[in-house]
Amino acid sequence: MILDKTSLSDPVEKKIAWARGCHENFGEALLKEERISRLVLDLKAAVYTSRREMALTGVVDICRRCDREEGGSCCGAGLENRYDGWMLLINLLMGVRLPETRAGEKDCFFLSKNGCILTARHVICINYLCERITRLIEPGAIRAMRDMEGREINILFFLHEEMKRVLRRWTRP
């Protein structure tokens, strides 16, 4: 089987369809690959740790208040364009249900009323901190959070590359 092409410039719906097709055809087999299954488990643990740290430092509360009470959100429409089909496939492998439609007209396609639905996120979504957060959160707490986020980003990179390598090997003509 030849793997269909997807591009970062494709509409998000096309990237989601590509990821779903790959997941349907290769998801089980990918998770049976030892390195991929280990990286998926490592990524789940790293995501849990970094998101717990975000909550403990107060970042989650600051973001929630900004979004709900002040009408602001860093997760605006267009941010989903940074995601490629591979990242969406990783989310499917991690059990995420990708949406069919955008929840809010001004929001990122992956933002729900309870926050981001993605487990594996783009580096900008993991890493971005607004001026308000950097002003309100103590620098030592931000440094500790950054260390945990760095682990998440590293694992995500290796998983992304390993999946590409394996799928391309399986689908070469």
Residue matched to tokens 């591979």: 86
Q: Please state the pTM of the whole predicted model.
A: 0.92
Residue 168, pLDDT > 80, answer: yes
For helices 85-93 and 12-32, the axis angle rounded to 10 degrees is 50
Q: What is the pLDDT of residue 64?
A: 83
Long-range contacts formed by 53-58: CB under 8 A, 24+ apart: 53/144, 53/145, 53/148, 54/145, 57/137, 57/141, 57/142, 57/144, 57/145, 58/136, 58/137
The whole-angstrom separation of Cα 141 and Cα 154 is 20
Weakest-pLDDT range from 37-41, 55-59, 169-173: 169-173
pLDDT, tens digit, 9 for 90 and up, residues 73-120: 788 899 999 999 999 999 999 999 999 999 888 889 999 888 899 999
Q: What is the pLDDT of residue 40?
A: 97
Q: What is the pLDDT of residue 1?
A: 55
Q: What is the pLDDT of residue 94?
A: 96
pLDDT, tens digit, 9 for 90 and up, residues 19-32: 999 999 999 999 99
Q: Measuring CA to CA, which residue among 86, 94, 147 is closest to residue 117?
A: 94
